[in-house]
A and B are shown apart, each in its own frame.
Chain A
Amino acid sequence: MMRLEKRPSPSRLWTAATPVLAVVVTMVAGGILFATLGKDPVAAIRLIFWDPLFSEQYASYSRPQLLVKSGPLILIAVGLSFGFRANVWNIGAEGQYIIGALCGTAVALAFYPAPGWYIFPLMVIAGAFGGWAWAMIPAILKTRFRTNEILVSLLLVYVAEKLLAAMALGAMRNPDGGGFPGSRNISRYEPAANTELIANTGLHWGVVTAFIAVIFAYVMLHKHMLGFHVRLAGQAPRAARFAGVRPGALVVFCLGLSGALSGLAGMFEAAGPAGRISIDFAAGYGFTAIIVAFLGRLHPIGILLAGLLMGLTYIGGEIAQLTLGLPAAAIQVFQGMLLFFLLALDLLSNYRVRPGRREMT
């Protein structure tokens, strides 16, 4: 028989090792999954994790895609990690991402086709504001009426999706588009375009913002009282109140920050890689970022690495879909498994496994 024994302090070794172990276990379980689908597991895993970066056939296209896909994931996940550390659960980043994209695009379309250096900065402000405002709805409902922010923020995703469809079909539809849904391509409207800064790297302003957010989050969490209070509120809410933290203000701060960063991610996506608002603009970054945040242990550097890894599975998954004919759902299951194994293996950093009988003490 085995039993679990709580460690006096969390193990540093296991805290660092479990994400790596989770990736390995996911590869094994994913391989079994792909094998039962009748695909060669080794080839599929290789296609997902190796080929996007190193195969001659795909790398020239997929290498820049890595930053394009990882950028929004990292940006959103960094914002979410503050709330998750403080026990404020924003599950609706996808909705804030959509609203940010809508607000940013609206600014661009309002100026079209005028020139002006100030248009792109205005779009950035509008995108951040849109995401922030959308996140303020669950924040205010929670602080005023004690509603559950998980439910409210999640349900607001579906409201945002309807709003996106309405905009793509209505107010923002391209007047020169022959009646097809979707806005003008603002990435071709120079003052509003979120261009690739260095050719063939995929590096755009959103990726730069994501890197800045990682550094900002690192400094905040480790060097600043605000980050200390965020960690304190998550670990010991009563101690946080004793330390002078106002729980309501913290909820507003955490939701506001993650909303603003999600909105920025949406705005950069709309003005860059996506280029426009369309019905299927939302690609699930807001939900996948939750996995990224936990895979990165809610630590900024960890999130950076986890975002890159998750971006890789996106690209690799696409390649696997095209070449092996794997269903898209299989890739999503694969990503979900990663979170599942990570949380399961987390047990090892706080407990150790010992042989012997369980004893009541």
Chain B
Amino acid sequence: MTEHTPLLEIDGVTKAFPGVVANDGVSFSIRAGEVHALLGENGAGKSTLVKMIYGLVRPDAGRMRLHDAAYEPRDPSEARAQGVGMVFQHFSLFDALDVAENIALGMDDPPPQRRLARRIEEVSHDYGLPLDPARLVGDLSAGEQQRVEIIRCLLQNPKLLIMDEPTSVLTPQEVEILFTTLRKLAAEGTAILYISHKLEEIRALCDHATILRGGKVVDTCLPGEKSAREMAEMMVGARLNTPARAETQPGDVLLEVSELSVTPATPFGTKLHDISLQLRAGEVLGVGGVSGNGQDELLAALSGETRLPKSEIVFKGRPIGASGPNARRAMGVLSAPEERLGHAAAPDMTLTENALLSGAVREGLARRGFIAWRKARAFAERIIAAHDVRTPGPEVAARALSGGNLQKFVMGREIQQRPEVLIVNQPTWGVDAQAAAAIRQALLDLSAAGAGVLVISQDLDELMEITDRFAALNAGQLSAPRPTRGLTMEQVGLMLGGAHDMEVAHETA
């Protein structure tokens, strides 16, 4: 194979699902040794496209060619046999098994355990991804679990490796390790199809980018020659407004948390140790950290879902640690949890009912317990109008909305209640660029109007963009907050606990 014949050629591939055309005549090609980015917003058709390449979904029309021969995988094992590997965003690993056992489970024809363990050590050493085959997966960090998935693919010597949003769970240092590995693979001739919406990463890593919008290829570019903003505008197909913020002086302390410790109710929770923070009027405080370091527990403690000793949380001089969610809402302390479906909103209930869910107290939607349905509906309509929620109406079930629209609804529900303190966890998780910008702007407006906003997020770019101060949550402990302006990504990474002491990986490899 020469440099110029493509490894994989996609020609006019189309796939329709009931009610939506996920891919409409998509064509592009990847050469051996190339890192190719697939860019697009949620719902642009990236996932469907790679699922077709990996044999999970069959195209309705169009051709795929691999090594200049027709390529029509019927299932993933056939795709793997032809040299196509994929690392999913969500890992499919068993916590109770060790690394080698997990890898054997994902192979079509696993060698004996001892030989496999030796192969794992060799491959992990060669590619700078240190991994002990005998460790239990449940004890590994998210970054290490991802290595298990990657090594599982590498053991099959793939010619094409598909990576779906691989960095969403990694610290900046872990991202660097991963990129070094991917560059090494590319140099050896493996083609990499890289899906992400983190544009700076794509600029740093990828040789080519294909941009999808509404199931169609709308553009291609050389990421190194474009700015992140230009690429974002290609994805969205419109000019993007960066959130604008007014310069404000932080006011009085609204919320004070002192030496908050929580032991989780379930064995899978994270323990919070001695968390202390102050939130002032008019500021946005960011709490960064990789998921599973206590974010859910911190939100539950601040929202009132977890009851605490009275004095651990003080709002405007009043101890509220022992108050439940509705007592805190009455005072003006509101929150929005990470999980949209099932926590912030009930999936099978209508938007009106979901508006009532957290709005009953402050919006006066119930009198002596009797629900004023008409007012609840009007409140839902107000949220829909003010936050541009795309829905046929307030009587639609929450689960029928797209992720971004439901997130706008859930965030809008809290913002419309004029909170004095708003605590949000992952406010723009899984939300397209335009909706994310709208939500961030709404949070900034809220703080400009004098509210204190606490944003818990894994998205460091988001925190850099909208927060005044930044603190890192790592293994249930919160670092001292530092002013966000002037922080470098490297400093942030160190605050987040580095790469779990694995920074040296590539130096020894």
Chain A interface residues toward B at CB < 8 A: 5, 8-10, 223-226, 228, 231-232, 235-236, 238-239, 241-244, 246, 359-361
Contact = CB atoms under 8 A, between A and B. Distances in A.
Contacts of B115: none
Contacts of B346: 232, 235-236, 239
B357 interface: yes
Interface stretch (B221-229, B394-402, B451-459, B480-488): B394-402
A242 B305 contact: yes
Interface stretch (B205-213, B236-244, B336-344): B336-344
B370 A223 contact: yes
B356 interface: yes
B358 A243 contact: yes
Contact of B342 (A226, A231, A236): A236
Most buried by B among A231, A241, A244: A244
A148 to B, nearest CB: 17
A8 B399 contact: yes
Contacts of A246: 324
A313 B365 CA distance: 44
B112 interface: no
A225 B364 CA distance: 12
B449 interface: no
A225 B345 contact: no
A359 B57 contact: yes
A224 B305 contact: no
Contact of B396 (A9, A238, A239): A9
Contacts of A5: 18
Contacts of B357: 232, 239, 242-243
B400 A8 contact: yes
Given A9-B397, A224-B369, A228-B356, A242 B344 contact: yes
Contact of B337 (A232, A242, A360): A242
Nearest to B56: A360
A354 B370 CA distance: 42
A360 B397 CA distance: 25
Contacts of B353: 228
A311 B506 CA distance: 76
21 contacts: A8-B399, A9-B348, A9-B397, A10-B348, A223-B370, A225-B366, A225-B370, A225-B371, A232-B349, A232-B357, A235-B349, A236-B345, A236-B347, A239-B342, A239-B345, A242-B305, A244-B304, A246-B324, A360-B56, A361-B17, A361-B57
Given A228-B371, A361-B57, A243 B345 contact: no
Interface in B415-460: none
B360 interface: yes
Q: List the 10 shortest-distance A-B pairs measured between CB atoms, nearest first.
A: A244-B326, A236-B346, A244-B325, A238-B343, A9-B397, A8-B400, A239-B346, A225-B369, A243-B357, A241-B305
A361 B51 contact: yes
A213 B18 CA distance: 44
Interface of B: 17-18, 51, 56-58, 303-305, 324-326, 329, 337, 339, 342-349, 353, 356-358, 360, 366, 369-371, 373, 396-397, 399-400
Contact of A242 (B303, B349, B396): B303
Nearest to B366: A225
Most buried by A among B17, B51, B344, B371: B371
A244 B359 CA distance: 11
Contacts of B18: 5
Nearest to A8: B400
B371 A242 contact: no
A361 B52 CA distance: 10
Nearest to A231: B349
A90 to B, nearest CB: 23
Given A225-B370, A239-B342, 7 more contacts: A9-B400, A224-B369, A224-B370, A225-B371, A235-B347, A236-B348, A244-B329
Contacts of A239: 342-346, 357
B343 A360 contact: no
A357 to B, nearest CB: 9
Contacts of B373: 223
Nearest to B55: A360
Contacts of B58: 359
Nearest to B347: A236
Contacts of B345: 236, 239
Contacts of A226: 369
A10 B397 CA distance: 9
Contacts of A236: 342-343, 345-349
A155 to B, nearest CB: 27
B99 to A, nearest CB: 26
Contacts of A232: 346, 349, 357
A226 B370 CA distance: 9
Nearest to B296: A238
Contacts of B57: 359-361
Nearest to A238: B343
Contacts of B400: 8-9
Given A235-B346, A359-B57, A361-B51, A223 B325 contact: no
A225 B360 contact: yes
Contacts of B51: 361
A238 B373 CA distance: 23
Given A9-B396, A361-B57, A242 B369 contact: no
Nearest to A9: B397
A154 B348 CA distance: 30
A231 B347 CA distance: 12
A312 B13 CA distance: 61
A115 B348 CA distance: 55
B327 to A, nearest CB: 8
B343 A242 contact: yes
A5 B19 CA distance: 13
Nearest to B376: A228
Contacts of A231: 349
Contact of A224 (B324, B347, B371): B371
A223 B347 contact: no
Contacts of A242: 303, 305, 325, 337, 343-344, 357-358
Nearest to A233: B346
Contacts of A361: 17, 51, 56-57
A243 B325 CA distance: 7
Contacts of A225: 360, 366, 369-371
A346 to B, nearest CB: 14
A225 B359 CA distance: 12
Contacts of B304: 244
Contacts of B337: 238, 242
A321 B452 CA distance: 73
A25 to B, nearest CB: 26
Contacts of B399: 8-9
Most buried by A among B346, B349, B369, B397: B346
Contacts of B348: 9-10, 235-236
